Amino acid sequence: MADDIKDDSEAAGQEVAELDLDATQNEDLEAAMRDAVAAVEGVENAARKPESATEEVERLRREVADLRNRSMRTLADFDNFRKRSERERQESRRYALFEPMRELLDVVDNLDLALSSGGSVEDLKRGVEMILRQMQEHLRRHGVREVPAAGAPFDPAVHEAVSREEDAEVKAPTVTGELRRGYMMHDRLLRPAMVKVAVPAEAPKPAAGRE
């Protein structure tokens, strides 16, 4: 059977060799061959594309995983920073008066000494005056100053009027007395001054029927 196939192949080859192909047939054959090569290249490109797409997907997955890890680390760092800032803020608020209170202890010590001393009333008074000056200096160091009162124009922003009287000698509301001293701390009112105020006297009204 193999000999028969061989004989048939040789006969077919001889018949093809004896054919006289003209130029048109040769051109058709070349065109067919070019089409076949192009088809093969297209198949090869199509076969390679899934591999390229897979690589691209894998690269994107790696990038997404990296971004996710970085974002998680950033969130963790931010959360730690927020907690640390909150602790520092609470600690700062809790100990904001640490230095002023430590300086105030000297005033407390002097008050204890004044109360435990056995001197005369005059000695006690002089000691209290010294302590008062010390306390005023302590307040000034921390930006606390007195609100001007007696003789100053009445200012409702810093004065609290507790009494009011007319006075013909004043042309505008004026503080005539201080019942409790007021204080400012830097540019804020710490406590208003309680004052007495004099206001200009009202002109007498004309009698009825007269101009």
* Neighbouring C-beta atoms of residue 193, cutoff 10 Å: 23
pLDDT at res. 46: 53
| Shared-domain flag, residues 35 and 74 | yes
Q: What's the distance, CA 137 to chain centroid?
A: 37
| Edge-to-edge strands, sheet with 159-167 | 159-167, 193-200, 174-180
pLDDT of amino acid 39: 58
Residues linked to residue 145 through DSSP beta bridges, in sequence order: 184
* Residues 7, 207: Cα–Cα separation, whole Å: 156
For the chain of 211 residues, list the mean pLDDT of each consecutive stretch of 10.
44 46 54 60 53 79 87 90 91 87 89 80 85 91 92 94 89 92 94 94 64 48
Same domain for 33 and 84: yes
Report pTM: 0.55
Please indicate, yes or no, whether residues 40 and 88 belong to a single structural domain of this protein: yes
The answer to whether the beta carbons of residues 179 and 195 sit under 8 Å apart is yes
Q: Are residues 106 and 80 in the same domain?
A: no
Q: Is 9 left (phi over 0), alpha (psi -120 to 50) or beta?
A: alpha
pLDDT for 122 equals 83
Q: Are residues 73 and 126 in the same domain?
A: no
The Cα-based distances of 135 to 24, 69, 109, 180 in angstroms read 121, 59, 12, 17
For residue 106, the enclosing domain spans 97-142
In a domain, 207, yes or no: no
Structural domain includes residue 16: no
pLDDT at 9: 45
pLDDT at 29: 55
Give the bridge partners for 167, in sequence order: 200
Q: Considering the domain boundaries, does residue 3 fall inside one?
A: no
Same domain, 85 and 29: yes
User: Residue 35: inside a domain, yes or no?
Assistant: yes
% of the chain exceeding 90 in pLDDT: 32
Task: Please report whether residue 1 resides in a domain.
Answer: no
28 and 89 assigned to the same domain: yes
Q: Structural domain tally of the chain?
A: 3
Q: Is the residue at 15 inside a domain?
A: no
Residues 137 and 165 in one domain: no
> In the structure encoding, which two tokens stand for residue 100, read together?
């002023």
